[in-house]
């Protein structure tokens, strides 16, 4: 089969090459991949990826070989799933605990956006659960996770401030659930829940605006900057929490099958129109390098998707 392979020396860091076909296993099916989406973390990781590895976390496609123990979906089932690597290929082996059936109404391209970005938004909101129907601040709101977070927090009745980096990036965010769009962090305010992915000064500002008893969920550092914050100011916000979040360990901790369950929920929400998928860039996988650059350059409104053709 063909796959996009990490070649750190190559100009784009990726090459489309022949690699061995994956084989199914116990509680692991083989999926013919039709579409994948890119995530900032995996794209940034390409530079340091081991030569010859196949990257890729999010995928949607069709089961072509069932698990050897008969668990999971049957051959022919349309699915959406996630892996720790290896999705950017014609075929991928996927644990049944990280796989959900795909309603016919949801395209492979739409489904491929859901795993990492959708589950991160959903889980981060759950962590701040008791604050999530109050005043919510979402940083990096124009990106993949941000656009899902706006909608999921909106369903809880939150009053949401969406933070973007420049004016044009705020287009369409109010339609997704933002009450207010702020270019840069707001100068003042108090928030019960902050979903924070930019790091640096953005995280410091979040810690200075979290309400007593509120929660800052820190799941990214898109800026790459370190954070200096006023400790005295933070602890006087009595009961306020800073929660470090990483999706894969979070899913492992919450037990087998919970990722599949939550993916199933997200896919059904898309099918019924309760969750909009925002694909800002969709290209064939022979144009992966263009999609990678666009995402790193903050040119993608929402998710970047590759069709595996």
Ligand X SMILES: NC(=O)c1ccc[n+]([C@@H]2O[C@H](COP(=O)([O-])OP(=O)(O)OC[C@H]3O[C@@H](n4cnc5c(N)ncnc54)[C@H](OP(=O)(O)O)[C@@H]3O)[C@@H](O)[C@H]2O)c1
Which residue ranges make up the site for ligand X (CB under 6 A)? Answer: 39-41, 116-117, 120, 140, 142-146, 164-165, 169, 197-198, 219-223, 245-247, 295, 298
Query: Residue 88, SS3?
Result: coil
For residues 49 and 67, which CB has a smaller minimum distance to ligand X in the complex? 49
Q: How many CA atoms lie within 13 A of 290 on its CB side?
A: 10
For residues 30 and 116, which CB has a smaller minimum distance to ligand X in the complex? 116
CB of 102 to ligand X, least distance (A): 21
The residues near 8 (Cβ < 8 Å, ≥ 6 apart) are 46, 47, 48, 49, 51
For residues 270 and 279, which CB has a smaller minimum distance to ligand X in the complex? 279
| CA atoms of 8 and 6, how far apart (whole Å) | 6
Contact 193, 128 (CB under 8 A): yes
> What distances in angstroms separate CA 134 from CA 153, 155, 213, 230, 307, one per listed residue?
9, 12, 12, 24, 39
CB of 31 to ligand X, least distance (A): 21
For residues 2 and 298, which CB has a smaller minimum distance to ligand X in the complex? 298
| CA atoms of 115 and 36, how far apart (whole Å) | 10
Contact 201, 174 (CB under 8 A): no
CB of 93 to ligand X, least distance (A): 22
For residues 57 and 108, which CB has a smaller minimum distance to ligand X in the complex? 57
CB of 38 to ligand X, least distance (A): 8
DSSP H helices in 14-134? 40-44, 108-111, 119-127
For residues 122 and 197, which CB has a smaller minimum distance to ligand X in the complex? 197
CB of 8 to ligand X, least distance (A): 19
CA dihedral 106, 111, 117, 118 (to 10 degrees): 40
CB of 281 to ligand X, least distance (A): 11
| 202-231 as b/e: b if 16+ CB within 10 A | bbbbbbbbbbeebbbbbbbbbbeeebeeee
CB of 262 to ligand X, least distance (A): 14
For residues 191 and 245, which CB has a smaller minimum distance to ligand X in the complex? 245
Contact 65, 51 (CB under 8 A): no
| CA atoms of 134 and 185, how far apart (whole Å) | 18
């Amino acid at each position: 089969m063909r796959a996009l392979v990490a070649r750190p020396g190559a100009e784009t860091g990726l090459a489309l090459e022949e690699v061995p076909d994956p084989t199914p296993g116990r509680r692991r099916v083989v999926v013919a991949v039709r579409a994948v989406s890119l995530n900032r973390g995996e794209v940034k990781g390409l530079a340091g990826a081991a030569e010859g590895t196949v990257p890729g976390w999010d995928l949607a496609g069709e089961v072509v070989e069932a698990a050897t123990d008969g668990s999971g979906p049957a051959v022919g089932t349309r699915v959406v799933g996630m892996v720790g690597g290896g999705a950017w290929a014609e075929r991928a082996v996927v644990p049944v605990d990280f796989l959900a059936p795909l309603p016919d109404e949801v395209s492979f391209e739409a489904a491929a956006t859901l795993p990492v970005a959708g589950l991160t938004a959903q889980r981060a909101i759950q962590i701040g659960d008791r604050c999530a129907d109050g005043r919510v601040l979402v940083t990096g709101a124009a990106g993949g996770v941000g656009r899902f977070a706006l909608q999921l927090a909106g369903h809880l009745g939150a009053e949401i401030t969406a933070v973007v980096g420049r004016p044009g990036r705020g287009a369409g965010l109010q339609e997704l659930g933002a009450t207010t769009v702020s270019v840069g962090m707001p100068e003042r305010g108090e928030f019960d829940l902050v979903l924070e992915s930019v790091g640096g000064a953005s995280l410091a500002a979040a810690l200075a605006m979290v309400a007593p008893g509120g929660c800052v969920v820190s799941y990214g550092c898109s800026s790459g900057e370190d954070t200096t914050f006023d400790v005295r100011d933070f602890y006087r916000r009595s009961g306020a929490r800073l929660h470090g979040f990483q999706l894969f360990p979070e899913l492992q901790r919450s037990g087998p099958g919970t990722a599949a369950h939550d993916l199933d929920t997200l896919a059904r929400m898309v099918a019924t129109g309760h969750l909009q998928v925002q694909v800002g860039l969709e290209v064939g996988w022979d144009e992966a390098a263009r999609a990678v650059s666009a995402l790193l350059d903050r040119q993608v409104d929402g998710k970047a998707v590759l069709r595996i053709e």
